[in-house]
Amino acid sequence: MIDVVASAAEEPVSAPLARFDRMLAAYLDGLAADAARSRTFLLEIYAVGPDATAHRFAVQRRFVELIAEALHEDPRWQALPDPDFTGLMLVGGIASLVSGKVATNEHTDLPTLRTPILAHVSSLLDATAQR
């Protein structure tokens, strides 16, 4: 999934939010296409043990870095009180939403999360610009 999201991040676009949107779509579509891998990576990995869990969180941290790189050029992102922490919260929230869908065997519905997630990120950035 890291490779899929990183590839989406590398495609040229003019707006940072559009890059984030493309990355989010790649992530959600990739997970929706492979229910077994999604379940293993998002839910069952915790039962494997502390090394696997540590790896899971390292991968999650890489997602945070990719999002930060994508949104870094947006001055509204930089105006947030703590852009790094915001990235952690964003990825944690997305992971929770995605894990919930996978846990309830709704993995094919994962792409439907794209629009509300993007709307919330956009509203956060717009609210920052209004300060």
Q: Using an 8 Å Cβ cutoff, are 68 and 89 in contact?
A: no
Residues in the chain with pLDDT values less than 70: 131
Q: What is the pLDDT of residue 104?
A: 97
pTM of the model: 0.90
Rg (CA), the chain: 15
pLDDT of residue 10: 81
Is the Cβ–Cβ distance between 117 and 20 less than 8 Å? no
Residue of 58, 77, 59, 60 lying closest to 68 (CA atoms): 77
For position 130, what pLDDT does the model report?
Answer: 78
According to the model, what pLDDT value does residue 93 have?
A: 95
